[in-house]
A and B are shown apart, each in its own frame.
Chain A
Amino acid sequence: MEERRQLTRVEELTYEVKIEQVMTADVLTVTPDTMMSAAKEIMRKHRISGMPVLEKRRLAGVVSTEDIITTLEQGVDVAVREKIGKPVITCFADEPLAQAIRRFDMYGYGRFPVVNRRGRLVGIITRGDIIHGLLRALELDYHEEEILKHEASYLLEHVDSEHTRLFLYYGVKARDFAHAGYAAKQIKRALIRLGAHPQSVRRVTIAAFEAETNIIIHSNGGRITVLIQPDAIRVMATDTGPGIPDVEMAMKPGFSTAPDWVREMGFGSGMGLTNIRRCASTMRLESIPGRKTCLEYTVIPEKSIALREQLKGGQNDFTRNSRPIIADGKNRAAQIDEPD
């Protein structure tokens, strides 16, 4: 079943991909006056099996290894002109790959010169070019599918309304270490169910965990609310005091006022707010000493736009010598991991 589906896709691709996208554009040519021995040397040096013959920029024929062999057999070096009696079969650059495949089946040649609509030589195509081009197209297909799979711009988009907002509420008790991470966990589950991108889920969750443990460690208790919209996730963590005397100082990485027994558990390393800032698209921390602290952050859901654009932009170029257009896993990870 799987094999059949793939074959069909390859067939489809032979109509989608154009000859100019897979052909070799830098063509080595000879003239009718070139000696066969010289042609042989060029082909040997460049490891190719045939070359177009150009006479005053006009395509006059093709010389192949087969011609070289017959020349050698006869033992007399002759000009290429003597060997190109056969009619030249060409392909148009803007034709689909399927046309080239059909010609290979019909004529049994190893290569066809590729010309533009004005008859000017623009490249050469071999069976190898076709296989290589189709493999690249398939690979691109596969990568696109992978991206779509991870694409989660569909956050809440299965809900039809002019304006969709979902509001979540979690109470957080002071010093309740047994439930540290409870709200973060619920938020994570909700976002996954709502179709958020895994990276967005991760960013919101890590920051929520830090906000939650801050309330548990430092405050008299508070709450976490989450406002989910298709284009933004906003988290508000508020408590009822005692407040932060120096917000700027609190933001410094490693600065902590947590008591030793809390630190012994691994909490209170002073990296919480730093983590939140790293995960959030925007962040705001306000505190009224003696009354309350309010932390608010938003995460803009990932859409992998950059990568998709990259794939689209590269689609016109499957040629061998071109820069690889498919981002490897590492590049993609870098792109998504670094929200800033």
Chain B
Amino acid sequence: MTNRIRGGYASDLLSHVMAKARAGDLWITIQSHPGIVDIAALLDLAGILVTEDKQIDPATLEKAESEHVPILTTAMTTFTTVGELFRQGLPGVDQT
């Protein structure tokens, strides 16, 4: 959990994440299946933030452990989460 976060990207569509998210980005999504860990690992993302207190599959957590991908959760909706992070100064991919 010492990864540096460079920026943020939010989407639930995996191909869009593949296309847009950059290494070091925090990915905000409502997806929680094991596939999200693969994507985070492939793109060297800083971590995944799953919104709306979505239950994370045990398989996802297990994979996250072995791939060293931090997974965070929040009760907030994606909209509010992103708004809050943005307010705190986290830039989006289209801003830098």
Contact surface of A with B, Cβ cutoff 8 Å: 177-178, 180-182, 184-185, 188, 202, 205-206, 209-210, 213, 265-267, 269-272, 274-275, 278
* CB-based nearest A residue for B29: A266
- B33 contacts A177, C-beta separation under 8 Å: yes
CB of B35 within 8 A of CB of A266, answer: yes
B34, B36, B42: the one contacting A184 at CB < 8 Å is B42
- B15 interface contact, C-beta 8 A: yes
Interface of B is mostly: helix
CB pair B15 A210 closer than 8 Å: yes
How far is the CB of A110 from the nearest CB of chain B, in Å?
A: 43
A-B contact pairs, 14 of them (CB 8 A): A177-B33, A177-B35, A184-B42, A185-B42, A206-B43, A209-B18, A210-B18, A266-B13, A266-B17, A267-B15, A270-B15, A271-B15, A271-B19, A274-B15
**Count, A-B residue pairs, CB within 8 A:** 63
Query: In chain B, residues 10-27, which have Cβ atoms closer than 8 Å to a Cβ of chain A?
Result: 12-19, 23
> Which B residues lie within 8 Å of A184 (CB)?
38, 42
Interface contact A275-B38, CB-CB below 8 Å: no
* A206 adjacent to B18 (CB under 8 Å): yes
Q: Does B75 contact A (CB under 8 A)?
A: no
B31 at the interface (CB under 8 A from A): yes
Return the contact of B18 from the options A182, A265, A275 (Cβ within 8 A). A275
Cβ contact of B35, chosen from A180, A205, A278, cutoff 8 A: A180
Contacting B38 at CB < 8 Å: which of A181, A265, A270, A271?
A181
**Residues in chain B near residue A275, CB distance under 8 A:** 15, 18-19
